[in-house]
Amino acid sequence: MSDDGRRAISVIGFIGSVFSPWYAWSGRRSPQDHCCINVATYGPAGRFAMTDRGRAALRQSPDALTVGPSEMRWHGDRLVMDLDEIASPPRIGRIRGTVTLTPGAVTGVELSLSRSGGHVWRPFAPVARIAVDLEAEGWQWEGHGYLDANFGDRALERDFDFWTWGRYPTPDGGALVVYDAARSDGTSLDAAFRFAADGTARAATAPPRTAMRRSGWGVRRATRADPGTVPRQVMPMLDAPFYARSVVATTIDGARLRGVHEALDLRRFASPLIKPMLALRVPRRRGWPTDQA
């Protein structure tokens, strides 16, 4: 998020693009053949790019992930993302430039999301600074950032019905991160962590989940909030039939917080009707380097 709260960006590297219809239709047998670097910008002239690419586009090293024309690489203590992607409708165009993330610290926290241990969450840098420099007017800015990763060996919709996640910067320069999920086996995950500016982490007791207004597509949403208060969306980001990302304001332990929130309905995502809709936003480019679109 930019310091002025008017712009935001998310960049996700996938090996095994879990939300790609092409990966689902392939039977998810070869993650390396369905990779991408997904870029979404929010605010004036915001765009979305998520191109499913084949194994020829994937290159990996201990310090870098390259997928087609875009790359994430560690440069000293900074994660540098060189981006060159084509946005999908309705705002077709190129997303090109550099995003640099500098962690305040790197944590060792690891949380198993499923009882089997088949899905793991790693909040590498819950507190970070970002510098954004894209080839678009007004897209040169700095702000606060966040770096995490999810790893899994099964399809999300096999093990989860629904989840919500939120990352809220706190007045002391740290962050509160909450991760809640309804698992397909009937159990639930209710996790909260407080991270200090130096990366020190501790499990936290957060107030109960509180429902908020559904997204434009009707995805139900909830996050933690003090009794008697209601979370609210203050900036829309991504609104899909099964997924919603937004900036949310809430009150936790008496502090008024504002951060990025997501809600994911895996039962909707599992519907065969969703995949053709996704294909309109997620093109497939199997070859590389001759097929560079």
Residues paired with residue 64 on neighbouring β-strands, in sequence order: 61, 73
Q: How many CB atoms lie within 10 A of CB 187?
A: 10
The residue to which tokens 């087609």 are assigned? 68
Q: Provide the pLDDT for residue 293.
A: 46
Q: What is the pLDDT of residues 21-48, one digit of tens each?
A: 999 999 999 999 999 999 999 998 899 9
Buried b (16+ CB within 10 A) or exposed e, 147-176: bbeeebeebbbebbbbbbbbbbbbeeebbb
Taking the CA atoms of 278, 279, 280 and 282 in sequence, report the sign of the dihedral they define: positive
Residue type, 49: A
pLDDT of residue 290: 56
Name which of 114, 229, 234, 128 is nearest 177 in CA terms: 128
> What pLDDT is recorded for position 200?
92
Are 238 and 263 spatial neighbours (Cβ–Cβ below 8 Å)?
no
Q: What is the 3-state secondary structure (H, E, C) of 224-248?
A: ECCCCCCCEEEEEEEECCCEEEEEE
Structure tokens at 263: 């809600």
117 SS3 class = coil
Reported as half-sphere exposure (CB side, CA atoms, 13 A), residue 51 has a value of 25
Its pTM stands at 0.93
pLDDT at residue 44, as a whole number: 86
156, containing H or E segment: helix 156-159
- Scanning the structure block, which residue is given the tokens 């093109």? 283
CA distance 63 to 58: 14
Cβ neighbors of 188 (< 8 A, separation 6 or more) are 180, 181, 182
Q: What percent of the chain has pLDDT over 70?
A: 99
> If the chain, 293 residues long, is cut into consecutive pieces of 10 residues, what is the mean pLDDT of each piece?
94 96 94 97 93 97 96 97 94 95 93 90 95 93 96 92 96 94 95 93 92 96 96 95 96 95 96 92 87 50
* Element spanning 125, H or E: strand 119-134
